[in-house]
């Protein structure tokens, strides 16, 4: 069976780079119209240009996913442009600063939780009613291997990704009889700018050595490419996964927590 999203509308948050950009391009490649959401205007517009270069239909909306009015605005923009939302890639996240819990600035803790948890919650809160009215839809939240494991000096990020799994499971239960599925992808290390920033903060001056150590611990010997995570997300949004909901699917090269 071929995956075909022709005539469908997808919303992707955090679409300015990394996994968000990769999944926006992947969805466009299989026919979806894509609303791109990111706080970084230049990065979001660049993703829009890339989608259009491959012949796709995309619209960029600048938004802070932690602000309810701005979430409502991106939902409204999708409805105004195309009249529906079939797929929601609830992806925007921030790693935060690298500190032990006892040294972690409270304002930075709040920022991580606002983006990674409040942002996912607000997206669900305002997209799910649209899908309920349609009687069909698929949501894929971006969680993490950090939804199951802890990492030193990434306490708020780890807590936030555990929370994303809790929201995923709860939302899935609440809408399972309404034709809507809610799942999460849980990547291990992915070759993104965000992970390089984390490694640079964790190992100043020796980030490449840290990366080599981590790579050696992965059974297939490499980090994931963002496109590989995007492929899993597209599958989870497609009818090929019609009996999968409330799950956190790991993509980690064979690692086990």
Active site residues: 157
Pairing verdict, β 58-62 and 137-142: unpaired
Contact 245, 183 (CB under 8 A): yes
CB burial class (10 A; 0-12, 13-18, 19+) of residue 219?
A: exposed
Token duo for residue 76 = 């409204």
Contact 120, 162 (CB under 8 A): no
- Residue 153's nearest CA partner among 187, 107, 115, 203 is 203
3-state secondary structure of 12: strand
Q: Describe the chain by its helix, strand, coil percentages, rounded to 5.
A: 55, 15, 30
């Amino acid at each position: 069976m071929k995956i075909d999203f022709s005539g469908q509308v997808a919303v992707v948050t955090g679409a300015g780079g990394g996994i968000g950009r990769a999944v926006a391009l992947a969805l466009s490649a299989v026919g979806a119209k894509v609303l791109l959401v990111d706080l970084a205007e230049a990065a979001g517009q660049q993703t829009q240009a890339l989608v259009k270069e491959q012949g796709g239909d995309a619209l960029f909306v600048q938004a802070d996913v932690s602000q309810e009015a701005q979430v409502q605005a991106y939902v409204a923009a999708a409805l105004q442009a195309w009249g529906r939302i079939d797929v929601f890639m609830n992806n925007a996240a921030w790693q935060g600063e690298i500190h032990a819990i006892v040294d972690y600035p409270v304002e930075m803790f709040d920022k991580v939780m606002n983006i990674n948890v409040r942002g996912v919650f607000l997206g669900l809160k305002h997209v799910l009613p649209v899908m309920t009215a349609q009687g069909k839809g698929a949501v894929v939240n971006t969680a993490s291997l950090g939804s199951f494991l802890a990492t030193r000096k990434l306490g708020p990020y780890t807590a936030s990704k555990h929370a994303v799994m809790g929201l995923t499971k709860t939302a899935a239960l609440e809408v399972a009889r309404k034709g809507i599925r809610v799942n999460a992808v849980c990547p291990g290390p992915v070759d993104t700018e965000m992970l390089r920033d984390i490694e640079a903060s964790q190992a100043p001056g020796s980030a490449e050595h840290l990366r080599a150590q981590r790579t050696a611990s992965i059974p297939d010997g490499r980090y994931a490419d963002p496109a590989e995570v995007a492929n899993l997300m597209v599958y989870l949004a497609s009818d090929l996964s019609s009996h999968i909901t409330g799950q956190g699917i790991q993509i980690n090269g064979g690692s086990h927590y």
